[in-house]
Chains A and B, each alone.
Chain A
Amino acid sequence: MNAALAGTLLLGGIAALDATPVAQTLLSQPLVTATLLGAFWGDWRVALEVGAVLQLLAASTLPFGSRTPEDYATGGVVGAGLALLLAARFPFEMYREACALVGVLAGMLSATGGVALLKWQRRRNEGLARWCEAELRAGRESALGRAHLAAVWMAFAVGVGAVAVGLGAGVALASGVVEHESIRLAKAWALAQPLWIGLGLAQLLHAFVQRRLTRAALFGMALIGGWLALMVGRP
């Protein structure tokens, strides 16, 4: 469990790096981090249930221009990590669904709270940029590399710290609730999971269709065709 926890914290730092400062490969997206966490904790089901819901919500969160979007990089790690941490403590079916609900809620709260941290980092980077420019004016070219190294370390440390705080607070606040109210939470999960999936899919569909009739028709045909293929293809 300690190794899995250490891996979760490390993944929080790596996800925070991938989200904006380094490469933007989508390694930081909730589905990917949840899959990796599922491997760390040996529980694919809970990890992917949380990861899929957070992924659909994260995919419609867009980093346009200078807008600071919700931080689903750390949110995804906190959400799936907390669900897995709680599921490892309470290994019964009803508890697992309660853990998934708590995980998704914690992931969304963490993503929303992460906006303030991202803004703080960006303001710190302003100071770094001014320092770098002064150094360059003084003929010290290596300042560019040092500024980038400092920004990367800061993003990594903030990611690890945010995940540690999120997991700690989540376990402290939700552990007792999951233990005593697992049936209610599992019922709430049965309602909330399809609602969240539908909400995320509608956002994505809106982005794809963009009020074009042809694309809306393609969606409709795929829905009916898929439904028929699944129903008729049933043995």
Chain B
Amino acid sequence: MARLRWRDRVLMALRAELLQATWNYERQQGLGWAWSLAPALRRLLPDREARCARLVEHTAYFNTQPTLASLALGAAARLEEERVAGGGADAESVLRVRSMLGASLAALGDRLFWLTLRPFAACLGVWVALNGGWRGAVVMLLCYNGVHQVMRFSGIGLGYRLGPAVLDDALRRRLDRLTRALCMGGAIIVGVLVAALLVPGGEPRPLVFQVTLTAGLGLGFVAAQRPRPSPTQWALGAGVLCLAATWWR
């Protein structure tokens, strides 16, 4: 019976780095998913025609948060292995599990990575950059990739070991705890960052700076209540107003 080797799983994790390379509106990550799963199918299905036919099925619509996609990839590889061995799920069921895992992981991953870890790493980076210059970028990269790349590489192995049960309550609880801790840490860093901007090195900034920073915070809270205009559009508008104010003063 063909079984996946450690090398196949490493290759899958490396290819998962390109999961979004061919992202499109029709299949979203479908093609990237098939490309990432191909090393597993090459091991399990030596016949090229059968393998190509299976790959075509895997190019169907798929979308999830790209880091946590590794868990779904590992689980799908496990199911494919069981299917080829003659037990477990049939071909349709594997695709159904893939879709189900994708949707659940997107809900968890969007909250953890896009809404929390990325803003947290950005705040930390900007805070360090205020005094440490180039070190801010290094801290930001280490903070984000310490979770992102570790999860991407270890996720394949974890998904393969546990199969579809990978998304159990224990994992959800761990990810929720991490999200909550990052949110609290992020709130603290923003507080310290605002203080450091108002009185850098214990020297209060000019009143104009303090007032406009406070006005910016107020504007930001108003902007955050609505999806449109986007923060960038608000910022562009504010920039044009500042230009106009200094031009015609």
Interface residues in chain A, defined as those with a beta carbon under 8 Å from any beta carbon in chain B? 20-27, 29, 31-32, 34-36, 38-39, 44, 48, 51-52, 55-66, 70, 101, 104-105, 108-109, 111-112, 122-123, 125-126, 128-130, 132-133, 136-137, 139-141, 144-145, 147-148, 151-152, 155, 184-185, 187-188, 190-192, 194-210, 212, 214-216, 218-227, 229-231, 233-235
The CA of A64 and the CA of B115, in the complex, are separated in Å by: 9
Residues of B within 8 A of A231 (CB): 199, 202, 204
- Check if A198 sits within 8 Å of B212, measured CB to CB: yes
- Check if A27 sits within 8 Å of B30, measured CB to CB: no
Residues of A within 8 A of B23 (CB): 20-21, 122, 125
Residues of B within 8 A of A204 (CB): 119, 122-123, 186, 190
Q: Which of B146-205 contact A (CB under 8 A)?
A: 148-149, 183-184, 186-204
The CA of A129 and the CA of B184, in the complex, are separated in Å by: 42
- Check if A139 sits within 8 Å of B145, measured CB to CB: no
Residues of A within 8 A of B187 (CB): 205, 208-209, 215-216, 218-219, 222
Residues A59 and B119 in contact in the complex (CB < 8 Å), given A65-B63, A196-B239, A218-B187: yes
Residues of A within 8 A of B110 (CB): 62, 64-65
Partner of B18, one of A60, A125, A148: A148
The CA of A188 and the CA of B243, in the complex, are separated in Å by: 5
Q: Does B82 contact A (CB under 8 A)?
A: no
The CA of A63 and the CA of B224, in the complex, are separated in Å by: 16
Partner of A126, one of B24, B130, B214: B24
Partner of B122, one of A56, A133, A202, A205: A56
Residues A55 and B189 in contact in the complex (CB < 8 Å), given A60-B119, A202-B216: no
Residues of B within 8 A of A233 (CB): 202
Q: Does B75 contact A (CB under 8 A)?
A: no
Q: Does B84 contact A (CB under 8 A)?
A: no
Q: Which of B15-29 contact A (CB under 8 A)?
A: 17-18, 20-28
Q: Does B236 contact A (CB under 8 A)?
A: yes
- Check if B24 sits within 8 Å of A226, measured CB to CB: no
The CA of A29 and the CA of B197, in the complex, are separated in Å by: 21
The CA of A22 and the CA of B149, in the complex, are separated in Å by: 12
The CA of A115 and the CA of B193, in the complex, are separated in Å by: 30
- Check if A223 sits within 8 Å of B192, measured CB to CB: yes
Partner of A105, one of B32, B198, B239: B239
**Given contact pairs A204-B123, A222-B191, a sample of 6 additional A-B residue pairs in the complex whose CB atoms are under 8 Å apart:** A26-B140, A65-B110, A144-B34, A152-B18, A197-B197, A198-B215
- Check if A188 sits within 8 Å of B125, measured CB to CB: no
- For B51, give the chain A residue with the smallest CB separation: A141
- Check if A137 sits within 8 Å of B56, measured CB to CB: yes
Residues A188 and B224 in contact in the complex (CB < 8 Å), given A38-B134, A123-B25, A202-B217: no
- For A235, give the chain B residue with the smallest CB separation: B202
The CA of A57 and the CA of B55, in the complex, are separated in Å by: 40
The CA of A224 and the CA of B188, in the complex, are separated in Å by: 11
The CA of A218 and the CA of B125, in the complex, are separated in Å by: 20
Closest 5 CB pairs of A and B: A198-B216, A202-B220, A222-B191, A226-B195, A234-B202
Partner of B246, one of A52, A108, A123, A191: A191
* Of A39, A56, A191, most B-chain CB atoms within 10 Å: A191
Residues of A within 8 A of B99 (CB): none
Residues of A within 8 A of B235 (CB): 57, 108, 196, 199-200
- For B126, give the chain A residue with the smallest CB separation: A52
The CA of A227 and the CA of B205, in the complex, are separated in Å by: 12
Residues of B within 8 A of A202 (CB): 216-221, 223-224
The CA of A122 and the CA of B121, in the complex, are separated in Å by: 28
Residues of B within 8 A of A63 (CB): 114
Residues of B within 8 A of A222 (CB): 187-192, 195
Partner of A208, one of B34, B119, B200: B119
The CA of A104 and the CA of B199, in the complex, are separated in Å by: 24
Shortest A185–chain B CB gap in Å is 8
A-B contact pairs, 14 of them (CB 8 A): A26-B141, A29-B125, A147-B31, A148-B32, A184-B246, A191-B212, A195-B213, A195-B216, A208-B186, A209-B183, A222-B189, A222-B195, A223-B195, A227-B195
- Check if A203 sits within 8 Å of B220, measured CB to CB: yes
